[in-house]
Amino acid sequence: MSQQAPVKVGIIKLGCIGCAPLLEYLLDERADRNDISVRVVSSGAKMTPQEAEEVVKMLEPFKPQLIIIASPNAALPGPTRAREVAKLLNVPTLIISDAPARKAVSKFEEGGFGYIIVEADSMIGARREFLDPTEMALFNADIIRVLAITGVFNLIVKTIDDMIASIKKGEEVKLPRLIVTKEIALENAGFSNPYAYVKAMAAFEAARKVSDLTTEGCFKVQEWEKYIPLVAAGHELMRYAAKLSDEAREIEKGLDQVMRMPHRASGELSVKRKLIEKLPPKA
């Protein structure tokens, strides 16, 4: 019996959100899955309509069977153009974005797109007097820690894996429609201890509130003496959210109850708890 050809997954990145930098690696953390082939195209930091169209067209020769578009505020013209061009490829398409994209949910659904909108994936404090490459990297390190520990990444992995599984079986792909709140995220975090759970909940909510400060500092306040403290405060709050997330995971470590969900080479997820134990046999 011949081996099934891997599912071709095309990932388009426009700009940067916390869910984007490690997205392709979340699907194949040990680089040994034999059921998927992945290509990533990116416009870098910019996300103009022209660049969005160009990067989607770069993906065409790969002939993807599933497209994932990750960007800040998917309601903006650049991500909108990316969706329009991706639609012409006639394959299931998933949008991953942050809270401002909620205003475009009806358009996603009308266009036949799936979506995962993560409320805690807050905007960076993008003011020139404050944000340099080091500060940008530190903010993303903090937000990635929050999204990983609070269950957001687990949810994204399981959702995309379900779509891949449907393609492998020749079934119609169910398009997810998810607004990721703290409750939905934490359902996927796998905490066994209630104190770990509530620390992670606090971390998610702190990360979500960061955008209140950064949005005010970037778009509503024009005086530099006022907007610099606002965006800096947002970054300090994200740093504390990362600290709370770490504290939650350390509680689980102390109980030897950290939930791990590695992929098998065939693509299925396994689940284990104790550090020193083998994976359960494949079902």
In the prediction, which pLDDT does 282 show? 85
In the prediction, which pLDDT does 3 show? 77
The domains of the chain are located at 1-118+151-188, 133-150+190-258
pLDDT, tens only, 98-120: 999 999 999 999 999 999 999 99
In the prediction, which pLDDT does 2 show? 61
In the prediction, which pLDDT does 227 show? 98
Cα separation of 133 and 30, whole Å? Answer: 29
Query: In the CATH hierarchy, which fold is given to the domain comprising 1-118+151-188?
Result: Rossmann fold (3.40.50)
pLDDT, tens only, 55-90: 999 999 999 999 999 999 999 999 999 999 999 999
Maximum Cα–Cα distance across the chain: 69
Instruction: Supply the pTM of this predicted model.
Output: 0.97
Nearest to 121 by CA among 55, 40, 188, 182: 182
Those residues of the chain that have pLDDT short of 70 are: 1-2
